[in-house]
Amino acid sequence: MGKKIIAAMSGGVDSSVTAALMVKAGYDVIAVTMRLGNHDTVEFDADKPNCCSLEGVEDARRVSRLLDIPFYAFNYTNQFRKSIVDYFVDEYTAGRTPSPCVMCNKDLKFGKLLDQADQLGYNYVATGHYARIEQDVESERYLLRCGVDLQKDQSYFLFSLTQDQLSRAIMPLGELNKDQVRAIAREYNMLTADKPESQELCFIADDNYKRFLKDRIPDQIQPGAIVNQDDEKLGEHQGVPFYTIGQRRGLGVSAKTPLYVMQIRTKDNKIVVGESQSLMRDSMQVEDLNLISISKLEAPIRAKVKIRYKDSGAMATILPLGKTSAKVQFDSPRRAITPGQAAVFYHDDLVIGGGWISK
């Protein structure tokens, strides 16, 4: 294969430096920005960085001009709505807590963009993720490792990438920390050098997901009962999409000890609450497994398992339940295991694989 590469550019400092490093490495680079559209009823604040905004597109265009590489903006509005926004809403409606960044990486950045690369005759896609990809000499499998900057490591969001996607992905920031990235941007006099981090949910203008859901699906959000584990009513909730496992604030229920959401029952529209200890679980089931460092899970393995992005991880035994599911048995109980979130398995800095927490 040749050295023709698409640099995915959002208009932020990470993607800007990624493009620069690819040019420096001698690749034939074109910059591509995904126009994702505004799926909110609220206008985005022009002063806040956002990869969905026109400002982000223009910043990417300016950096491309600085690097003297072709720039393209492709409209992925419909794909983004179906794969990310609709998924986000559907998960909350079903009583689960979604992880839209994982889906965006799988379906858009390493799905739609690789399709675009094929159409344009390009071989690879480079992104500004803080993670590392390498190929194992013996197995010939492509491996995913944490970025060296553990504060910025994004390997958790990349667990669902396939061998084909990993073989065509380049992530040059995996060996750098954020300060080094900004320093490189300053060397190039990039206008994005000191640009702040973009907000977590790029498609929600004010970061208020409850307001976003209420605007999109008002008829599906109905009040209901907040009950204890004996099904005794303690209060009223505002609608099951507004709650997540482990939530304490905003319950509107008074008790001698703090209460937390421990179960979301969509069938009878109830939120079950309990004391902190009721959130502890020693096992969970994971579906839709995607394995990276190994081809299949044939026998129990030991791994450190993260149950959310900011989780530091905990040791567990992973037992196969079939081709695409597994039981994770933790050495010690974990707090607030949340259906809908990704569970990612690690051996030191190596991503073994992962799946979606189902129960």
Q: Is 146 assigned a catalytic role?
A: no
Backbone angles phi, psi at 24, to 5 degrees: -60, -35
Question: Of 144, 146, 142, nearest to 154 (Cα)?
Answer: 146
Angle, helix 13-24 to helix 54-67, in steps of 10 degrees: 20
From 52, 101, 146, 202, active-site residue: 202
What is the dihedral sign for C-alpha 173, 176, 181, 184?
negative
Residue listed under structure tokens 């597994």:
326
CA dihedral 30, 35, 36, 38 (to 10 degrees): 150
Q: What is the DSSP letter of 343?
A: E
Active site residue 51: no
Burial class (CB in 10 A: 0-12, 13-18, 19+), 359: exposed
Cα-only R_g, the chain: 22
Angle between helices 209-216 and 86-93 (to 10 degrees): 90
- Residue tagged active-site, from 52, 101, 104, 146: 104
Q: How many CA atoms within 13 Å lie on the side-chain side of 163?
A: 12
As annotated, the active-site residues are 104, 202
